[in-house]
Structure 1
Amino acid sequence: MTALWTSDEIAEVTGGTASGSFEVTGVTFDSREVEPGELFIAMPGTVYDGHRFVEGAFAKGAAGAIVAQPVDGPHVLVDDAVAALEALGRASRERSRARIIGVTGSVGKTSTKEALAAALERSHPGKVHRSVKSYNNHTGVPLSLSRMPRDAEFAVLEMGMSNAGEIAALTRQVRPHVALVTAIAPAHIESLGSIEAIADAKGEIFEGLERDGVAIIPNDTPQRDRLVKAARRHADRIITFGTGDADVFAIHAVTAEGGGSLISASLLERELTLTISQRGEHWVSNALAVLAAVEAVGADVGLAGLALADLGGLKGRGERHRIDAEDGEILLVDESYNANPASMAATLKSLGEERGVQRRIAVLGTMRELGAHADALHAGLAPAVLSAKVDHLILIGAEMASLEAALAGQLPVDRVSDVDQATAALQSILRGGDAVLVKASNAVGLAKLVERVAGGVTCST
């Protein structure tokens, strides 16, 4: 395998000193993820110092390490491991000739990133790099950059934030040719204070655009004009996607047989009819954003459409589990990774559109980082729950008391304090024919419920 980095290159870009000559094929700062041949970066931590895990990383086959103190084994000694990671990311971006697409947004950025990478991979197999998981912060972005293969032709990199100014710093590292905002919603409103401030923070992604860069903006958000104004200062071209007078829009979008959507899309230079495998109107919007980006970088939109048809469920973001029970099949929809009011409403609507089910059950956990707006935004989910024809609702956390009150007397509601109690409550009522939606902010830990129920369901008869 071609070396991703040599020890001499690492030492040069980080200002460190190599203990000897070595080559690495990958980069990680999580010792649990180390693969043979990779570089392990011993990052300082608030709980554990990464130097404690260097020996274990070598035992798993790490070919070298970046460290801030001498260790046994091949390494590059630096003054600051965090600064070294950032330097490695900058050097990778500098040497790359890939077309870079940066993705941010309040809703759907990871799903859109995955779909976009799959769409580009269809026409350029083995030449597309992407952020993995949700590595989208001040350490995740330089890590993703440092992992970019020398010969990558495209890269899709996700950028997230909790506060103003964070995306501005990230986008200047990424320096995208295309900057895509998926949607604006009241995520992180606790720290930012208003939906307008959230739009401004997301709009920082345009500040890093390369010369002749393209900004891709959702047409259906009330903050559209605010985003356009921000983009005009940095972008050579602006493309909108969505409905109405958008540049890229769905002429028709209907539910496809077996789920998903059949879309006739008007793109910049052609029309395209495609099927997307993912369910829900929000995925129609995601697909239009993907097609806009594919067209913006000059890749094959026809092959991109085929990739969207084949896109499988994403863990924690709509992955569908079919569970065999004694009295029939149970559908478990895993949306456990994250939640905000917009994504909650969208996935509840999808639950309501499930065909051939006997009951609809929703397990909903707290939406975090809503601050003083939390009670109103949780209670505001009531119309979406009722429209989805939910038969039984399980709520997790004290913050969900306002939603419980808003639904009083309208359907059975169990409010519990933690995931263990939610799992027990769900298992006590499950039966064949149920469709179950599981969604909450990641910190709630609902992935544990999904693992337990999908791995060994206990059903009532």
Structure 2
Amino acid sequence: MSPLWTSAEIATATGASASTDFECNGVAFDSREIGSGDLFFAMKGEQADGHRFVAQAFASGASGAVVSAPVDGPHVLVPDTMRALEQLGMASRQRVDGKIIGVTGSAGKTGTKEALFAALDRFAPERVHRSVKSYNNHVGVPLSLSRMPRETEFGVFEMGMNHTGELAALTQFVRPHVAIVTTIAPAHIEHFGSEDRIADAKAEIFEGLEPGGVAIIPADSPHFARLRRHAEKFASRIVSFGFSESADVRCIDHLASANGGSLITAKLPGAMLQYELSQPGDHWVANSLAVLAAVQAVGTDLAVAGLALADMRGLKGRGARHRIAVQGGDALLIDESYNANPASMAATLKGLGDADVDRRVSVLGSMKELGDQSAKFHVGLRESIEAAKVDYLLLVGEEMAPLAEALAGDVAWTGKFAHCASVADATERVCNEVRGGDAILIKGSNSVGLSAVVEALLGGGD
């Protein structure tokens, strides 16, 4: 295979010159992630200047660096390394002839991106590229683009935002042939003030659509008409997905499968598909419909996509399920520790309620960036918690105080919940509480740090 980049190509993309000839097969801006043959971008951030780590990057095997000050070793000297990363990402996008899919949404975008990758990779092995982790911001998107091999047939890119205009900029880098909005929910609402404005901001993804592009939008969303109006300005075709009878890609029927996921019958334009989905929950059924809509839009095999959806494993922090050894037997651990907003909390709590277990235990961390509506949204979780028949509840974070106060005033919750002083407190409590036959849901915004609770529980199992 040809190298990912040559020094001449990097220099051309950035309008600079290389100190010497070199080739690279990977790109990174974190010196700790550098491997043999990688290109290191020395980025200047708020906390650190990447130029301090150039020597470390070369020691780890970097074949070259992009810098804004001369260094020892092969490099391309540019005025601004952030701008150079954007330029390299745009050059990567320009040289790829494959189909590109962009994914955004208030929840479900990482899972949908991973499911899309699995479906397309099953069809075209080793010819599909996607953004890794949650590299979905102004740095992560150009980085992910710059890592895309020139031979790529399908590219899948996640795009996030927490301010108006962010997606408008990112979508111009990605220039998708297909743009998906998974759902609209009050994530980052403190920056927008209303869900309508969040919908407007998410709809910016359509602005970068290539000619003939397809917009895929959630039929069940109360913001469907708003999203459709935005999409009509830029898309040649609009495809809706969901449970609604009006959806173009519609779930006709679904029921729980033996592996804990769902058996689904879906109707698509000109096709019907029955498939098994390994991930549990109605929200994942909806995500899978968006995946099928995109698969059909880029002209690949729906049956192959169905096989991939059956084989998908849960993502760390985003629904991964583990059997752990505890006192009295084993228990089901549901790891949703990476992110949380009101919609995703409701969806995962419903999944907990649907689990066939003896008891339901939940550790819920604060939902961040909800602004002056935070108390309302946290108290509002009570309905979903009670509908899920949670037997023991631990709340973590100061934003959970209003919910804790509401529960404290109800005798039915006496002895069944606690508002923990810290993650360490929650960890100790849940480790002492769980027993065989339990299902334990761990969910909260990433900054709360509930991944530590997951790691502590995994210490007792695989």
CA distance in 1, matches of 2:172, 2:152: 20
Q: Give me the whole-angstrom Cα distance separating, in 1, the residues matched to 2:292 and 2:20.
A: 47
Partner of 1:175: 175
Q: How does 1:10-409 map to 2 (within 5 A)?
A: 10-244=10-244, 245-355=246-356, 357-408=357-408, 409=411
**Alignment counterpart, residue 418 of structure 1, candidates 407, 418, 422:** 422
Match of 2:431 among 405, 411, 427: 427
The one-letter code matched in structure 2 to 1:195 is E
2:273 match: secondary structure: strand
Instruction: Name segments (4+ residues, structure 1) moved above 6 Å.
Output: none
* CA displacement, residues 188-207 of structure 1 (integer Å, 9 cap, x when unaligned): 10001100000000000000
SS at match of 1:423: helix
Matches of 2:449 and 2:322, distance apart in 1: 18
Amino acid in structure 2 at the alignment position of 1:236? S
Question: Could you tell me which amino acid in structure 1 is paired with residue 174 of structure 2?
Answer: V
- Please report how far the alpha carbon of residue 258 of structure 1 lies from its aligned counterpart in structure 2 after TM superposition: 2.4
Count of aligned positions = 456
- For structure 2, the 5+ residue unaligned runs are none
2:445 corresponds to 1:437: no
| Comparing 400-409 and 259-268, the one that deviates more | 400-409
1:324 Cα deviation after fit? 1.7
Q: Deviations over 1:146-188 (max 9, x none)?
A: 0110000000001000001000000011100000000000001
Could you tell me how far 1:16 is from its partner in structure 2? 2.1
Return the offset for 1:454: 0.6
Equivalents in 1 of 2:217, 2:137: separation in Å?
21
SS state of the match for residue 407, structure 1? helix
Identical columns (%): 60
1:57 deviates by 1.1
Q: Find the residue that maps to 2:144 and give its secondary structure.
A: helix
Relative to structure 2, which stretch is displaced further, 152-161 or 413-422? 413-422
RMSD over aligned CA atoms reads: 1.0
Alpha-carbon distance in 2 for matches of 1:326, 1:392? 16
Question: What letter corresponds to residue 7 of structure 2 in structure 1?
Answer: S
Instruction: Give the whole-Å Cα distance in 1 for the aligned partners of 2:270 and 2:59.
Output: 54
Letter in 2 for 1:181: V
Contact 2:175 2:209 in 1 (8 A): yes
CA distance in 2, matches of 1:187, 1:301: 32
Give the structure-2-normalised TM-score.
0.97
Give the match's secondary structure for 1:286. Answer: helix
SS at match of 2:395: strand
Deviation per residue, 1:348-380 (Å, 9 max, x gap): 01111111x221110000000000110000000
1:52-98: CA deviation from partner (whole Å, max 9, x where unpaired)? 11111111111111111111111111110000000000100111101
What one-letter code is carried by the residue in structure 2 that aligns with 1:309? Answer: A
- CA distance in 2 between counterparts of 1:3 and 1:301 reads 32
Q: State the shift of 1:326 in Å.
A: 4.4
Question: What do the CA deviations read for 1:239-270 (whole angstroms, capped 9, x no partner)?
Answer: 00012210000111111122100000001121
d(CA) in 1 for partners of 2:423 and 2:60? 33
Q: Verify the 8 A CA contact 2:378 2:399 in the aligned structure 1.
A: yes
Cα distance between partner residues in 2 of 1:13 and 1:204: 26
Structure 2 residue identity aligned to 1:422: A
Is this contact kept in 1: 2:327–2:434, CA < 8 A?
no
TM-score using structure 1 length:
0.97
Q: Measure the CA separation in 1 of the matches of 2:453 and 2:60.
A: 30
Q: Name whichever of 443-452 and 385-394 sits farther off.
A: 443-452
Secondary structure of residue in 2 paired with 1:279: coil
Counterpart Cα distance in 2 of 1:99 and 1:258: 33
> Counterpart of 1:260 in structure 2: which amino acid?
G
- CA distance, structure 2, for counterparts of residue 112 and residue 195 of structure 1: 21
CA deviation string 1:377-418 (max 9, x = no partner): 000000100011111100001110111133233331111132
CA separation in 2, counterparts of 1:339 and 1:7? 42
Aligned-pair CA distance for 1:11: 1.0
Query: Which piece of structure 1 moves more, 365-374 or 439-448?
Result: 439-448
